[in-house]
Structure 1
């Protein structure tokens, strides 16, 4: 029953995300090759990972795990269910040793691709400049040199689900995918 509910929620959330944001999978993601990858993007909203997640072909999406803050996603039964059963997230505690987070991501990369946000926290203004990256993406790339990095720029997500809002505002979003590194 839990698996059926998780699959149904996955389907519904993907359709709602596409409807609200109008996001369309870029050709680069539709033609993504097989194998483990690290998708990394700018971070402006709790919905950022969903935009990337729904843009991946289903066959790829089932082998992708978003990396997120444990403190947020374990803060209630609904979020916990979504994180563990629907999105299969790698939940990182901000209170623990950063090397533990690196170990968790490295272990996840043995079987899954990751979606990470190297800025570490959401950006709160419209300035196009990125915040400084945390060192995790560099260290992860050092430990897993054969895993390609796929850069993605998310446009307009901050305005769809601003900080403190629970209900998204319908606005068009776009993903711009760079070449694998």
Structure 2
């Protein structure tokens, strides 16, 4: 019950602060297994995409959360676990375990994912080069639909280093799905995926 109430509170708060406008430019919202991949400029990105999805998709879509940040306090850990049903990932490899294993497990379970292929938040107008995770997930799960997304203005709501949000109209634009082409090399695919996200900036 507490998680449901917090979910409703966060939806109302995010929509008040940002409008949380979802723009389905290249595909409709659909209950199929997807990986949404987007630019990353704020800790609010996770919440922004989650709030922009329709109710029926939020229940089957799990955002990726950096374990070291989102488990720092009991409240952060509770909200990412109970409310967002996030998948925790280690930003640094520890031991022999593949950092992507929690994502593999989620996809094998049939979940959809929200990921940020840059890996860390950036301050530039354009996304940083994408890391290999999106490519590795695509190679292992080629049937999962890859949907690019551009999050607009959210870095102004919660700038890096700030703790008090500022109301700013924001939107999430979802683009046409892409797929790994036969024989396409990793860097070529990642560069194309990054351009698919960047192309949504001016839509």
Q: 1:30 to 1:60 in 2, by over 3 A?
A: farther
Structure 1: which 4+ aligned runs deviate by more than 4 Å?
none
SS class of match (1:100):
coil
Q: Which moved more, 1:164-173 or 1:66-75?
A: 164-173
Matches for 1:4-23 after TM superposition, within 5 Å: 4-23=1-20
Specify the alignment match of 2:129 in structure 1. Answer: 132
Structure 2: how far apart are the matches of 1:81 and 1:50? 14
Deviation of 1:29 after TM superposition, in Å, equals 9.2
Structure 1: how far apart are the matches of 2:130 and 2:176? 19
Task: State the Cα deviation string for residues 94-140 of structure 1 (Å, max 9, x = none).
Answer: 23359622221011013210000000011123x2x210111001100
Show structure 2 runs of 5+ residues with no match: 179-203
Aligned length: 176
Does structure 2 retain, via aligned residues, the 8 Å contact 1:30–1:56?
A: no
Specify the alignment match of 1:42 in structure 2. Answer: 39
Please state if 1:167 is matched with 2:136. Answer: no
Specify the alignment match of 1:119 in structure 2. Answer: 118
Structure 2: how far apart are the matches of 1:29 and 1:161? 27
TM-score if structure 1 supplies the norm length?
0.91
Q: 1:71 aligns with which of 57, 68, 71?
A: 68
Structure 2: how far apart are the matches of 1:11 and 1:5? 10
Specify the alignment match of 1:102 in structure 2. Answer: 100
Structure 1: how far apart are the matches of 2:170 and 2:20? 5
Please state if 1:152 is matched with 2:152. Answer: no
Does structure 2 retain, via aligned residues, the 8 Å contact 1:29–1:57?
A: no
Show structure 1 runs of 5+ residues with no match: none
Q: 2:22 aligns with which of 21, 25, 37?
A: 25
